[in-house]
Amino acid sequence: MPSLHWFRRDLRLADNPALLAAVEEARVADDEVVPLFVVDPALWRAAGAPRLAYLARSLRALDEALDGRLVVRHGAASSVLPAVAREVGAPSVHVTAATEPYGRRRDEAVERALDVPLVRTGSPYAVAPGRLTTQAGTPFQVFTPFRGAWLDHGWSVPARRPQRVPWADVPSDGVPDEPGTDVDLPAAGERAAHARWAAYVQDGLAEYGTLRNRPDLDGTSMLSIPLKYGELHPRTLLADLTQAPFDTATFRSELAWREFHADVLWHHPCAARRSLRAVVPEDSWDDGDASFAAWAEGRTGYPFVDAGMRQLRALGWMHNRVRMVVASFLVKDLHVRWQRGAQHFMDWLVDGDVPQNQLNWQWVAGTGRDAAPYFRVFNPVTQGERFDPDGAYVREWVPELRGIPGRAVHQPWRLGLEAPEDYPAPIVDHAVERKVALDDFHRGRDA
Ligand X SMILES: Cc1cc2nc3c(=O)[nH]c(=O)nc-3n(C[C@H](O)[C@H](O)[C@H](O)COP(=O)(O)OP(=O)(O)OC[C@H]3O[C@@H](n4cnc5c(N)ncnc54)[C@H](O)[C@@H]3O)c2cc1C
Binding residues: 208, 220-224, 251, 351-353
Q: Is 363 one of the catalytic residues? A: no
Residue 128 near residue 296, CB atoms below 8 Å: no
CB of 188 to ligand X, least distance (A): 15
CB of 352 to ligand X, least distance (A): 5
Q: Own/partner pairs for 343-347, CB < 8 Å, 24+ apart?
A: 344/296, 345/312, 346/47, 346/48, 347/48
CB of 207 to ligand X, least distance (A): 11
Q: Is 108 one of the catalytic residues? A: no
Cα 219 to Cα 134: distance, rounded to the nearest angstrom: 34
Q: Is 320 one of the catalytic residues? A: yes
Give 172-188 as a DSSP string. ---PPPPPP--S-PPPP
Q: Count Cβ atoms below 10 Å from residue 131 Cβ, excluding itself.
A: 14
- The angle formed by the CA atoms of residues 296, 302 and 305, to the nearest 5 degrees, is 50
Please count the residues of this chain forming the interface with ligand X, following the rule CB under 6 A. 27
Closest to 380 in 3D by CA, of 346, 414, 426: 426
365 binds ligand X (CB under 6 A): no
345 binds ligand X (CB under 6 A): yes
360, 362, 367, 379: which one binds ligand X (CB under 6 A): 360
- The annotation places the binding site for FAD at 208, 220-224, 251, 351-353
325 binds ligand X (CB under 6 A): no
Nearer to ligand X, 64 or 250 (CB): 250
Residues numbered 213 to 232 that lie near ligand X (CB under 6 A) are 220-224, 227-228
List phi, psi (to 5°) of 125: -125, 160
CB of 205 to ligand X, least distance (A): 9
Q: Is 257 one of the catalytic residues? A: yes
63, 100, 107, 353: which one binds ligand X (CB under 6 A): 353
Q: Chain centroid to CA 54: how far?
A: 13
Catalytic residue among 6, 167, 257, 266: 257
Residues numbered 150 to 189 that lie near ligand X (CB under 6 A) are none
Cα 95 to Cα 92: distance, rounded to the nearest angstrom: 10
Catalytic residue among 361, 379, 385, 397: 361
Nearer to ligand X, 73 or 319 (CB): 319
Q: Is 155 one of the catalytic residues? A: no
Cα 431 to Cα 414: distance, rounded to the nearest angstrom: 16
Residues numbered 248 to 307 that lie near ligand X (CB under 6 A) are 254-255, 257-258, 261
Give 83-105 as a DSSP string. HHHHHHT-S-EEEPPP-SHHHHH
Catalytic residue among 197, 338, 363, 397: 338
Q: Is 111 one of the catalytic residues? A: no
Which stretch, 74-82, 105-113, 158-166, 317-325, contacts ligand X (CB under 6 A)? Answer: 317-325
Catalytic residue among 44, 87, 155, 285: 285
Nearer to ligand X, 295 or 361 (CB): 361
Residue 20 near residue 159, CB atoms below 8 Å: yes
Cα 339 to Cα 331: distance, rounded to the nearest angstrom: 10
Q: Crossing angle, helix 320-328 and helix 303-315, to 10 degrees? A: 120
324 binds ligand X (CB under 6 A): yes
The residue ranges that bind ligand X (CB under 6 A) are 212, 220-224, 227-228, 254-255, 257-258, 261, 320, 323-324, 327, 345, 349, 351-353, 356-357, 360-361, 364
Active site residues: 254, 257, 285, 320, 338, 361
